[in-house]
Structure 1
């Protein structure tokens, strides 16, 4: 794929992402399958947070060869098309799944402030989840505003505006197969049009 004009610098390639997802899946599978003997029906509930988690979730679950998984999604708003989070996150589309006595693995694209995942983790325990773990492909530790840590993560990323592999600008660019630092100077006057 040709580099998008809004890309300032690619920091993680498609090849690196795919390799890391395989490693994460094997580590998580080992935890749940080999070490977590009381896992109900050998099934973990993988909960993706829309919309950014979709590329990661799709590649991640196909790497689970020993472990049964159920997939579910919730939508939480905090950025709403902006470069930075706009405030307190809120659940905009809840799940109908019964979380009681379930082992839930939140599958997320990135942890930034941590507010969204803190909210969801507390919400799931409030719904009776037996355990709640977090797996994110990207971890922006410099942006953290609350005490929250991923149980598994793929890459440390800089405190910059990132696009690609689920990370968006105005709901676009999630389809880029790599992760890049966005060119914020170009974004200021950017108009969406057909690329040459």
Structure 2
């Protein structure tokens, strides 16, 4: 059933699953060619939005993985990213010499991932790659691109499959365009 705040469903659960399977093959092929420390890729999810996509992706990745998470603050409850991302909760893994796969739900401005990627290299990571479910290049403010992405979208405010509005709607089983005209008067 479609949520009342959904203007249009862009990608179904099935489409996301199929695309995740294809990306997992590419990720495995890449890491098979690398000299990865302890043959283990460090997969770092950017919480909270990454959870559904990361879970789906890792169901298909065959490479040996260690998992960690971090929380970044970049939206602060609105619909546009601010220019100063901050680490709210850091990873607990030592990055020295590690091959890192950053998992994100969406790349919009790119400011958060640009910050994290530079920070990880500063901490000694050997390699940092980015995979995202959604790539939205229209608002890109940082010179950063995903190494792998599921779907490229236009400049719309998206909800579902990890994407939220004020921490809600992440659990929708699809990615959809939010009907933002309803947000001002919406009663939860």
Category of TM-score, reference length = shorter chain: over 0.9
After TM superposition, what 4+ stretches of structure 1 lie above 4 angstroms from structure 2? none
CA–CA distance in structure 2, aligned partners of residues 179 and 73 of structure 1 = 22
Match of 1:161 in 2: 157
CA contact 2:83–2:111 (8 Å) conserved in 1: no
Structure 1, residues 65-108: CA drift from partner, whole Å, max 9, x if none? 2x100000000001122111133111111112100000000011
CA RMSD after TM alignment:
0.8
**2:116 counterpart (98, 116, 120):** 120
State whether structure 2 residue 6 is matched by structure 1 residue 10.
no
Q: Report the CA distance between 1:118 and its aligned residue.
A: 0.4
1:98 alignment partner, one of 81, 94, 101: 94
Indicate which of 62, 70, 74 corresponds to 1:74.
Answer: 70
Report the equivalent of 2:52.
Answer: 55
The gaps in structure 2 that reach 5 residues or longer are none
CA distance in 2, matches of 1:28, 1:77: 27
Deviation string for 1:20-66 (max 9, x for gaps)?
00000011001102x22x1122110000001000111111112122x
Who is 2:19 aligned against? 20
Alignment partner of 1:175 is 2:171: yes
Q: CA deviation at 1:7?
A: 0.3
3-state DSSP of counterpart to 2:165: coil
Matches within 5 A, 1:23-38: 23-33=22-32, 35-36=33-34, 38=35
Please report how far the alpha carbon of residue 188 of structure 1 lies from its aligned counterpart in structure 2 after TM superposition. 1.2
The answer on 1:130 being equivalent to 2:118 is: no
| Distance in 1 (alpha carbons) for counterparts of 2:37 and 2:96 | 11
How many aligned residue pairs are there?
188
Task: Give the match's secondary structure for 2:185.
Answer: coil
Counterparts of 1:17 and 1:142 in 2: how far apart (Å)?
21
TM score, norm. by length of structure 2: 0.98
Q: 2:59, 2:104 → 1: CA distance? A: 16
| TM-score in terms of structure 1 length | 0.94
